[in-house]
Amino acid sequence: MRRAIVLAGGLGTRLRAATGDLPKPLVKVAGRPLVAHQIGRLAGAGITDIVIATGYGADQVEAELGTGATWGAALRFSKEDSPRGTAGALALAAKGRVSADDTVVVVNGDLLSRHDLAGQLAAFESAGADASIHVREVADPRAYGVVLVGGSRVTGFLEKPENPPSNLVNAGTYVFRGRVLLDLPDTIGLSIERDVFPQLAQYGEVIAYRDDAPFLDVGTPEALAAAESWFE
């Protein structure tokens, strides 16, 4: 079965100057909460079973989003009582909500992307891989996770290296086999980028899905202003 997890538990510290104490997923972009754009995109790709992994402001986020009926989706919520990092939050969200053979799309709650999500899903399921990463080229990759690729296979993953060996970067949309998420510990702090992908690239089967469509991490007041132009 196809499912999705939206990582929406960050504090949004860099946005505070523009948004105050509002939980980051609820910051408005084009008149809608930021996380609503991710939910709508997933539902548009036919993925309606969606878990929202929350942390700071969890009750506000759940109250605002409700059941998901607005998007034709069924939302469930996973709440971190203390920060566990992106992978720890993902493990907690998967527990009891994901099956081993599921195809699970994972997106960050502050990500806007125009890449072909349906194409990434199809490539992942055809390959029978453990995970898939949307990758694209950028002019300066130092602020990103740099992805090393041989053919379609990911052979290495370097988070924000000072001297990048490639201009191909992690664009923030992932697909996992459910068993990979269920094997992650949900009680300790782990990072998808620093802990999970380097290990999977070495010992598992991770494929790169190349699509040079634009994407935007809405993590700063400047990026928030730029996000408005996506919907003009």
Catalytic annotation, residues: 160
**118 contact partners, CB below 8 Å, separation of at least 6:** 45, 46
Q: Which of 169, 166, 192 is nearest to 181 (CA)?
A: 192
Q: Which of 89, 132, 113 is nearest to 40 (CA)?
A: 113
In angstroms, the CA 73 to CA 102 distance is: 17
**127 contact partners, CB below 8 Å, separation of at least 6:** 152, 205, 207
DSSP 100-120: TT-EEEEEETTEEE-S-HHHH
